Amino acid sequence: MALGGFHSVLYVLQKARGAGGLRAMWKAMRSPNACKTCALGMGGQQGGMVNESGKFPEFCKKSVQAMAADMQGAITKEFFEKYTLSQLSAMSSRELEAVGRITFPLFAGPLDMHYKPISWKEAIAKVTEKVSKTDPSNSFYYCSGRSSNEAGFLLQLMARVRGTNNINNCSFYCHQASGVGLASVTGSGTATVTLEDLSKSDLVFLIGCNPTSNHPRLLKTLLDLRRRGGKVIVINPLVEPGLQKFNVPSDVRSLFFGSKISDMYVQPNIGGDQALLLGMLKWLEEHSAIDETFVSQYADGFDDVRNQANETNWDVIEQHSGVSQKVIAEISRIYRESNAAVFCWAMGVTHVKGGVDTVRAIGNAAIARGMLGKEGAGLLPLRGHSNVQGMGSMGVAPMLKGPMAEAIEKELEITLPLPTEGGDTMWCMQEADKGNMKYAMCLGGNLAMANPNTTFSQKAMSKIDLVSYMSTKLNQGHFVGRGAETIIFPVLARDEESQITTQESMFNFVRRSSGGTPRHNGPRSEVEVLVSIAEKGIGTIEWSRYRDHSVVRELIAKCLRGFKTKKEHQIEGRTFHEPKFSTTTGKAQAHVIALHAPAEISSNQLRLMTIRSEGQFNTVVYEEEDVFRKQTRRDVVLMNEQDISAFGVQVDSFVTVAGPSGTLVVQVKAYPIAKGNCAMYYPEANILLSTKVDDESKTPFFKGEVVAIKKN
């Protein structure tokens, strides 16, 4: 049975009805604003539901869910009087998301049982006083991918001017490995392709990703590719039924009859894709299928990579990857026939130990066949939140790129106080746990719940004197991620802003959102809140100028190469159709990788991957049911049937899953996942995970840690 289709259509209609009717939803979705959800990028000045190729209508359940949530009514003061903090802490993500919009600032102190309304003046005064009294090194600034470029740029600027580089965005817990890996291959940490390239490719690899749930409109692109004779190869330890067959709602034939999506579905071990990619190189080398012209003229270091492939035995490749030589040969054969291949990947790659090297291994595979610097071919990390890439471009990172730092200093005639690198997200949390963080500013997001070892993150946040959030709606982090004091500033959604804001898609396209009418009195623009705090004594900058978003954009344009102030645009120099790279030699860089063996497991152990469900976006759970994987509850462990029988447990029985940091009692479900591996829902399963991070990306191991399964 195919997925999506009429179920999705019905769901959208129901959501629209619940959000004030079809007409209201249509109007909201068509407004000239960027989609609030994933970074595939829809909407903007061509109107909502238009993609970067100008195609209409392009929308999905996810975009409707996010819009419907923002169209909810206001949470009343009585709500906060009625429910205590501990009662609200016990509510699920879904319950909190459905409570409504926050419309007045909220405060909770150490002795408070409830969040209490507080005036804007008082809330801003509390934050400014804390910022001015805190040694900057004892503070950190965190940003999610929901905010605008303008707000992100101001956040990092005010933090640096105040004197700290402890600035990070949510990418440390998602795609940081992509940025680090890509920068070492092409000289730029972002995609090398545009959306148009996908319509010219004849082969797409989907490695460790599930666009069915997370980037739904990509399915139509894949459907079109297959209809013109192209192929799709999926590499994922877990079968995603929607990547096998899908009813694409915007295509009548597909809606009624379903469409095959993948030509090959390969299930490596968690983390086994690294060895699989090396195996592909080995096969290409053994079959004289390397593009020798490309590797000699446009790449450095390929001979070392070739040697690594030659010297690595097939036994090692099979053992590490969990995939047979025969299957790797079949993938490689298809790849050899391709004239234009795009490699897509997501957190199945970046959440695993050695994720940066896996991204480099993907780069090696692309270099081997000359799949960089030409139309229809290249590298495409599938980013999550709609503006997470923009946050990186805006310098919301511990270390500013040299040219941006120099430009800021020149334009503002200031000296940025700390030239050294600041703390990544986990480092900041560890410092908080040691009692070294006194203030934290969270621009969106749900930091506490996004962390591995949620027990640790809750404890760490509680040791911070003051935590301030800027949010549109409630989430679990507002309760389990409280400091000694906590303030929540209610902010406008991007389609409610009174001025234009900008966002950047995963294709490096900067989209302009026109904003619109606020749905409620009370919430303010994030830029307004940041300026109100900064102008009360952070540095000597004339902050009030930046209330005008166009002035912020002018400053950004002076500091970021390729950013333009007037029109929607592709950021220059990142996507390219000629083999000219932004590396020091101008060539692509091939890398010998440190081949990681998947974690060893004993008789009652499995490697765990945390996964998101179809009705979920990051930590926000819209529906408890995971329609695509046919799961009706979230407290489950998905196991291979052979493991279930070897462990002597029964399907639907309850087991205790013990990870490095905690345990969870969950129900066993049989699922087509590679033997020796299991899957559980994020963020609930975070409680099991350690706080260890990858050496290069500083990303925790949301996938690949070992858990023990114990019968109850």
Binding site for ligand SF4 (CB under 6 A): 35, 37-38, 40-42, 58-60, 62-63, 215-217
Element (H, E) at 54: none
Cβ nearer to ligand SF4, comparing 155 with 346: 346
701: left (phi over 0), alpha (psi -120 to 50) or beta: beta
Cβ nearer to ligand SF4, comparing 211 with 370: 211
- Phi, then psi, of 345 in degrees rounded to 5: -155, 165
Cβ nearer to ligand SF4, comparing 43 with 268: 43
Cβ nearer to ligand SF4, comparing 56 with 120: 56
Cβ nearer to ligand SF4, comparing 19 with 40: 40
Minimum CB separation from ligand SF4 for residue 150, in Å?
20
In this structure, the chain runs to a length of: 712
Cβ nearer to ligand SF4, comparing 60 with 365: 60
Minimum CB separation from ligand SF4 for residue 14, in Å?
17
The rounded distance, in Å, linking the Cα atoms of 671 and 630 is 10
Number of H helices, E strands in the chain: 29, 28
Cβ nearer to ligand SF4, comparing 62 with 634: 62
List all residues 6 or more positions away from 129 whose beta carbon is below 8 Å from its beta carbon: none
Neighbours of 77 (CB within 10 A): 14
Minimum CB separation from ligand SF4 for residue 254, in Å?
16
Minimum CB separation from ligand SF4 for residue 67, in Å?
10
What is the torsional sign of CA 320, 323, 328, 331? negative
Minimum CB separation from ligand SF4 for residue 382, in Å?
10
- Phi, then psi, of 182 in degrees rounded to 5: -65, -40
Burial of residue 86, with CB atoms counted within 10 A of its CB: 0-12 exposed, 13-18 middle, 19 or more buried:
exposed
What separation in angstroms does the CA of 577 have from each of 206, 340, 613?
Answer: 21, 12, 36
Cβ nearer to ligand SF4, comparing 66 with 408: 66
List all residues 6 or more positions away from 490 whose beta carbon is below 8 Å from its beta carbon: 101, 102, 103, 104, 105, 106, 471, 472, 522, 523, 524
Minimum CB separation from ligand SF4 for residue 222, in Å?
12
Minimum CB separation from ligand SF4 for residue 220, in Å?
9
Cβ nearer to ligand SF4, comparing 35 with 235: 35
| Long-range contact set of residues 224-228: C-beta below 8 Å, sequence gap at least 24 | 224/199, 225/198, 225/199, 225/201, 226/259, 226/260, 226/261, 226/263, 228/202
Alpha carbon 550 to chain centroid, angstroms: 27
Minimum CB separation from ligand SF4 for residue 233, in Å?
21
Minimum CB separation from ligand SF4 for residue 388, in Å?
12
Minimum CB separation from ligand SF4 for residue 660, in Å?
33
Cβ nearer to ligand SF4, comparing 144 with 457: 144
What separation in angstroms does the CA of 90 have from each of 129, 479, 621, 663?
Answer: 32, 9, 15, 18
- Phi, then psi, of 652 in degrees rounded to 5: 75, -5
Minimum CB separation from ligand SF4 for residue 33, in Å?
11
Minimum CB separation from ligand SF4 for residue 621, in Å?
16
Element (H, E) at 366: helix 355-368
What is the torsional sign of CA 470, 474, 476, 480? positive
What is the torsional sign of CA 15, 96, 390, 690? negative
The rounded distance, in Å, linking the Cα atoms of 16 and 23 is 8
Cβ nearer to ligand SF4, comparing 63 with 486: 63
Give the residue among 600, 612, 624 at the shortest CA–CA distance from 702. Answer: 612
Cβ nearer to ligand SF4, comparing 63 with 274: 63
